[in-house]
Chain A
Amino acid sequence: MEINSFEDILKYCREMKATIPEVMIEYEIRKTGRTREQIIEGVRKILNVMIESVNNGLTRDVKSPSGLLNNFAKKVYNAKVNTLTVNFKKAIARAMAVSEVNACMGRIAAAPTAGSSGIMPAVITTMMEEHGITEDKAIEGLLVSSAIGLLIVKNASVAGSEAGCMGETGSAAAMGASAIVYLLGGDNRQIESAACFAIQGAMGLVCDPIAGLVEVPCIFRNAIGVANAFTSAQIALSGVESVIPLDEVILAMNEVAELMSPKLKETAQGGLANTKTAREIQRRFIYQIDIGK
């Protein structure tokens, strides 16, 4: 069972008369020989780690060793001002919470990477809280998101060192957008469009971490990744279709990744990492880091 494109997934959905989550379970059974129950329990474990990481970030003292992150998620979660709604603010805070847990050596589920690990937990826990999505349904949502992630891994990359932050938070936002659409009853074409919009919104996004740490701007890009996911899902669920099909969007993503300078791919040599202030922070806190060229 080969899955190389979104069209492959749709083909299996038709042949098996199955939903995307069912196709992904079948794919995993054939790939690993694990049983259906083992796979579902595996995803449940990931879901529980995600929920726990959100809660930990909102309740524990999470100040990173460098001091660059210092309990920002709680500030946002408890802010008196709402730019839109309380729910939206909370969704953003949840992504930041996991980013802070990650920076403080807490337990997270990389989805698809540690650097982008705030987005999927924020999307899923927000859907559970705001839409009453059950645990079993949330697992299906995660399976849909895994399909999108798989296609990106196969045809582009989710690694910051290869595709910048586009690969990390861009992929996570696309995964999140597809899960939201599925959980709100969207069809497979709407799932596809949502993933397209999310990637388009993150196309060319660089990875330029200050002092090489997974902290700033990572935490903000995780927050924006959640907004991207809900925005993209909203547009797709409204019936707007992506002009470019997902398979081509992912190929474009791969082309952009190849065109990006290595200085903008996790090496902390360009962009924000190369600003005067970032260099000062590097010297002050983390003198071990190579300044680069």
Chain B
Amino acid sequence: MPSIFDILGPVMIGPSSSHTAGAAKLGYVARQLLGAEPKQAEITLYNSFARTYKGHGTDRAIIGGILGMKPDDEMLRNSLEIAKERGLKYTFKLIMKAPKLHPNSARINLTDLDGNKIEMVGSSLGGGRIEIVEIEGFKVSFSVMTHTIVIIADDIPGSIAHISGAIAEKNINIANMFVSREEKLANMIIEVDQDVPPEVLEKIRSFKWVHYVRLVEPIL
């Protein structure tokens, strides 16, 4: 059942909930996955995003999101100019036909000042809703409707127990947990019911077999 605020709203920057608001969210999620101020962004737009990005401001929306602007921030309109001021270098590549991806999809590669990188693929599903479908080569599927912890760790026995223990210790309820494996690494997507204090993330980060931890906050 929809909420009345699905009918009245969302408040957003036009012109399109899928091509503008959803695109800004994708950029914003990529920024959170990087976890630092990005200095370089390589963006690939696929399918409908590639064909109609200019008229819908998809490029401005994604760059704005990468700069930390939310979908209702009027600065989105000037994001390309603001990127220049803040020293963010960006490139756009267009791929008109990527049949395996949703019609409105983007790949975002970010690099911070220290050379840390993140790669993410996400889709804009309509009405401002998004789905993240790939992180660092791992196939994933989550929609950032709630606080989401993203982890990459060695695929060793007991890792899930240690991580869920660190989360449960602070009385945080895990709503969903998805695990996928690539060779010797495991990717975990953990959706929780509330905000996650930094000490929980620090504890997970302190495990020697954990390589990457980020918290992605929902964008309402």
Contacts and interface: CB of A to CB of B under 8 A. Distances in A.
A150 B13 contact: no
Contacts of A288: 50-54, 94
Interface stretch (A10-18, A78-86, A153-161): A153-161
Nearest to B128: A110
B14 A109 contact: no
Interface string A94-112: 0000000111111111111
Given A286-B52, A290-B51, A103 B8 contact: no
Contacts, number: 134
B82 to A, nearest CB: 13
A24 B4 contact: yes
B145 to A, nearest CB: 13
Contact of B56 (A24, A31, A159, A213): A213
Interface residues of A, number: 54
B147 interface: no
Interface in B105-138: 126-127
Contacts of B16: 114-115, 214
Contacts of A142: 8
A106 B73 CA distance: 9
B12 A108 contact: yes
Given A2-B1, A286-B55, A110 B13 contact: no
Interface string A154-174: 100011010000000000000
Interface stretch (A40-48, A184-192, A196-204, A253-261): A40-48
A143 B4 contact: yes
Contacts of A65: 54-55, 57
B3 interface: yes
Contact of A106 (B10, B13, B94, B127): B13
Interface residues of B, number: 36
B36 interface: no
A28 B4 contact: yes
Given A114-B15, A153-B7, A290-B96, A105 B20 contact: yes
B51 A150 contact: no
B70 to A, nearest CB: 11
Question: By CB atoms of chain B within 10 A, which of A39, A106, A120 has the most?
Answer: A106
Contacts of A107: 11-14, 72, 74
Contacts of B2: 150, 153-154
B11 to A, nearest CB: 5
B63 interface: no
Given A32-B3, A65-B57, A104 B52 contact: no
A146 interface: yes
Contacts of B60: 105
Nearest to B94: A288
Contacts of B15: 102-103, 105, 114-115, 213-215
B83 to A, nearest CB: 15
Given A112-B6, A145-B7, 9 more contacts: A45-B11, A107-B14, A110-B12, A113-B127, A153-B7, A158-B7, A286-B52, A288-B94, A290-B51
Interface of B: 1-17, 20-21, 50-57, 60, 72, 74, 76-77, 94, 96, 126-127
